[in-house]
């Protein structure tokens, strides 16, 4: 099962089989899953064999699987080389002794042997297709080679079949490289893991046998075998296989780690959070395999075109064979020969194979860089985006409050910072945590705090060194009557910028203020700028207060921004963008923005590597939250579209040229094979360029 044409053939022969509830094709792995009761399967397998295929039960994955495949390729190559050698000898026998009966007999015998070695599988599939009234490539080659042999062109028939089989083998290997590009990631995850036993000892076990909750150790320089959460140690980890991040990421207790990543520095222990079959890496590969099975719009168009094109050319060939001797006076042998050449040209392989190879190459390139595209249709439609709506928190911004400014209004700055740190250190509010983390390192919140009390919705209060102090918001200071014009003036620039301002006050008034804000991701400005350069309009949609939203939009370079939106409001806003601009994407966290993601033409989730909901909900998942991958996805989509139509135009152009040569010139059958299969190899190679670099320039 090599391509979509053969998938369609298998679907047709299985349609009449009662009891089959579902078929799932994975062309990349050459796997078909049949959902049916046990008593139905023998009939289904018999129907597949009747179509010329040889279905084999899927063995459990093992290290020997790839070896068996390599051996099969090696033995097949020897058979094809022998077939080509016999065909060449047959050609030489005809060339040097055309009138010799001995040479003719020997040449015919060699030709039959060459055809048998190279074309047995083709004949099996071809006769099966002809019995069902279908005109696939095997049927066309079967008719063409048999016809050539019968009209006395047996050396050429042998050479055509040998060249065709060799070209098919080369094409299959090239296609496999594209289709299997992503599955190579699975080899990055080790097969063994060091697991702590109940008695404290460490034992090496297969990753498939490691239970969730187990403690696993990974040494410096080793690959992480499973997903988990660090429980002991500090290190830096190269996460590029999963997230595409170019720089190592520091890991400490409480941080996640992912299977297939590389531990670079210190020894780590972590608690397993997912079995090997559901690791982030495994789910990425599963998603890409499913995406490979989905039909991109261009691919569906090509399949429909090929279904009409091949029978049409067959009818033309039949007309040439039967009509030209009567109407143009051609000899019957010349007319039949030209018709057979047309049958070879009619092969739709270059057309049919060019689209899936191109799409799969693009999907693999994206997945290697932390961009998970959930299907060829999403890959193709991304090129047409006219607007992108961004959520703010966790998408444009880091989603973690940070102390961006502070100042003492009375007394020594160091003393005010120390008092604030002591109060904030007793609170678990995100703003308090940001204040403690952002104050100078010499300030510690360890000094005594008496009578600490939380003031819901306003702040905290306590007695420090015998004096009452509060740390809270503007409302709390207003209630205390300490919001003077000078304090208001000091706060205004920060409030206008949408920052959360916390004030420290004592008995004598406000001592200091602390401005906390959710800061932009380093990639946000560059991503927005790249989108504008591509003609895509960025829009900010957020549930945060309007002032904060306007400030973030201005900082990142977005002209249109809306704040204080509920999830339903975001959905309505996306719908309005679609009506005003056209195709619109929504980029969010994949959870709170679910209605807007569903409304958008393409939902783009900030994956935060390992976020299950994000990977399930969106059409595109950016695994490392780097927004620069969003314009890269659009550029990849545009480049993929260009390559697809380059391949289609090239394949049809070559066929048109040789069609003219065949009817009005002197094209031979082996020239037609070279042209057709050469075109197939060239379009495959052109599509596979996307594996080496998909950035493009958005052409």
Q: Around Cβ 11, how many Cβ atoms within 10 Å?
A: 12
Q: DSSP class of residue 172? A: H
Residue count (the chain)? 699
State how far the Cα of 601 lies from the Cα of 90, in Å rounded to an integer: 60
| Nearest-angstrom CA–CA distance, 571 and 104 | 77
Q: Kindly give the interhelix angle for 546-556 and 485-496, rounded to the nearest 10 degrees.
A: 50
**Cα 581 from chain centroid?**
27
Name residue 516's beta-bridge partners: 403, 500
29 within 8 A of 37, measured Cβ to Cβ: no
Cβ–Cβ under 8 Å, residues 656 and 316: no
**Buried b / exposed e along 276-294 (16+ C-beta atoms within 10 A):** beebbbbbbbebbbebbbe
Count Cβ atoms below 10 Å from residue 169 Cβ, excluding itself: 16
Q: How many CB atoms lie within 10 A of CB 581?
A: 16
Burial 399-422 (b: 16+ CB within 10 A, else e): bebebbebebbeeeeeebbbbbbb
Residue 649's beta-bridge partner residues? none
What is the residue-wise DSSP string for 504-563? EEETTEEEEEEEEEEEEPTTHHHHHHHHHHTTPEEEEE-SS-HHHHHHHHHHHT-SEEE-
Q: Is 450 a catalytic residue?
A: no
Pick the catalytic residue: 227, 238, 303, 391? 391
Q: How far apart are CA 321 and CA 337, in angstroms?
A: 8
Q: What dihedral do alpha carbons 14, 17, 21, 23 form, nearest 10°?
A: -10
Rounded to a whole number, what is the largest CA-CA distance in the chain?
122
For residues 431 and 396, what is the distance between their CA atoms, to the nearest angstrom? 19
Whether the CB-CB separation of 273 and 227 falls below 8 Å is answered with yes
CA distance 605 to 614: 6
Catalytic residues: 391
């Amino acid at each position: 099962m090599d391509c979509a044409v053969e998938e369609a053939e298998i679907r047709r022969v299985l349609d009449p089989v009662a009891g089959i509830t579902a078929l799932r094709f994975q062309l990349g792995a050459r796997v078909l899953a049949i959902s049916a009761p046990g008593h139905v399967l023998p009939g289904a397998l018999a129907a597949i064999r009747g179509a010329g295929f040889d279905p084999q039960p899927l063995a459990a994955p093992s290290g020997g699987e790839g070896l068996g495949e390599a051996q099969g390729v090696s033995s097949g190559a020897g058979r094809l080389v022998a077939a080509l050698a016999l065909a060449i000898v047959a050609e030489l026998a005809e060339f040097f002794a055309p009138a010799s009966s001995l040479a003719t007999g020997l040449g015919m015998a060699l030709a039959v042997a060459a055809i048998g070695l190279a074309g047995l599988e083709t004949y099996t599939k071809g006769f099966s297709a002809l019995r069902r009234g279908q005109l696939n490539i095997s049927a066309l080659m079967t008719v063409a080679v048999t016809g050539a042999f019968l009209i006395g062109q047996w050396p050429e028939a042998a050479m055509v079949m040998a060249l065709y089989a060799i070209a098919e083998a080369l094409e299959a290997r090239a296609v496999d490289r594209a289709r299997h590009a992503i599955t190579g990631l699975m080899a990055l995850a080790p097969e063994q893991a060091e697991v702590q036993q109940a008695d404290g000892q460490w034992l090496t076990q297969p990753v498939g046998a490691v239970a969730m909750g187990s403690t696993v150790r990974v040494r410096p320089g080793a690959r992480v075998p499973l997903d988990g959460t660090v429980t002991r140690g500090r290190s830096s980890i190269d996460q590029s296989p999963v997230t595409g991040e170019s720089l190592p990421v520091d890991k400490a207790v409480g941080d996640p780690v992912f299977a297939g990543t590389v531990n670079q520095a210190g020894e780590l222990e972590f608690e397993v959070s997912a079995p090997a079959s559901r690791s982030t890496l495994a789910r990425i590969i599963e998603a890409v395999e499913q995406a490979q099975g989905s039909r991109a719009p261009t691919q569906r168009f090509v399949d429909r075109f090929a279904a009409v094109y091949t029978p049409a050319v067959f009818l033309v060939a039949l007309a040439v064979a039967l009509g030209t001797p009567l109407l143009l006076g051609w000899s019957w042998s010349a007319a039949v020969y030209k018709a057979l050449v047309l049958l070879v040209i009619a092969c739709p392989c270059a057309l049919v194979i060019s689209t899936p190879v191109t799409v799969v190459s693009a999907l693999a390139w994206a997945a290697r860089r932390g961009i998970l595209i959930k299907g060829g249709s999403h890959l193709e439609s991304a090129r047409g985006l006219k607007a992108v709506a961004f959520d703010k928190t966790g998408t444009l911004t880091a989603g973690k409050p940070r102390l961006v400014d502070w100042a003492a209004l009375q007394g020594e700055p160091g003393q005010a910072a120390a008092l604030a740190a002591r109060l904030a250190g007793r609170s678990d509010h995100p703003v308090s945590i940001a204040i403690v983390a952002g104050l100078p390192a010499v300030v510690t919140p360890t000094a005594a705090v008496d009578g600490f009390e939380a003031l819901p919705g306003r702040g905290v209060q306590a007695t420090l060194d015998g004096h009452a102090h509060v740390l809270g918001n503007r409302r709390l200071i207003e209630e205390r009557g300490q919001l003077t014009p000078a304090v208001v003036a000091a706060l205004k620039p920060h409030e206008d910028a949408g920052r959360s301002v916390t004030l420290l006050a004592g008995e004598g008034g406000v001592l200091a203020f602390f401005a906390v804000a959710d800061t932009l991701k380093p990639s946000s400005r560059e991503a927005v700028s790249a989108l504008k350069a591509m003609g895509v309009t960025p829009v900010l949609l957020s549930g945060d207060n309007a002032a904060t939203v306007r400030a973030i939009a201005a900082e990142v370079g977005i002209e249109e921004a809306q704040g204080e939106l509920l999830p339903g409001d975001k959905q309505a806003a996306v719908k309005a963008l679609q009506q005003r601009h056209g195709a619109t994407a929504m980029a969010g966290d994949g959870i709170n923005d679910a209605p807007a993601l569903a409304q958008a033409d393409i939902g783009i989730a900030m994956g935060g590597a390992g976020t299950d909901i994000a990977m399930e909900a969106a059409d595109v998942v950016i695994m490392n939250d780097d927004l620069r991958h969003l314009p890269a996805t659009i550029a990849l989509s545009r480049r993929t579209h260009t390559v697809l139509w380059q391949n289609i135009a090239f394949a049809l152009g070559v066929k048109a040229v040789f069609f003219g040569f065949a009817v009005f010139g002197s094209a031979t059958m082996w020239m037609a094979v070279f042209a057709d299969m050469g075109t197939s190899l060239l379009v495959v190679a052109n599509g596979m360029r996307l594996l080496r670099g998909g950035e493009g320039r958005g052409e």
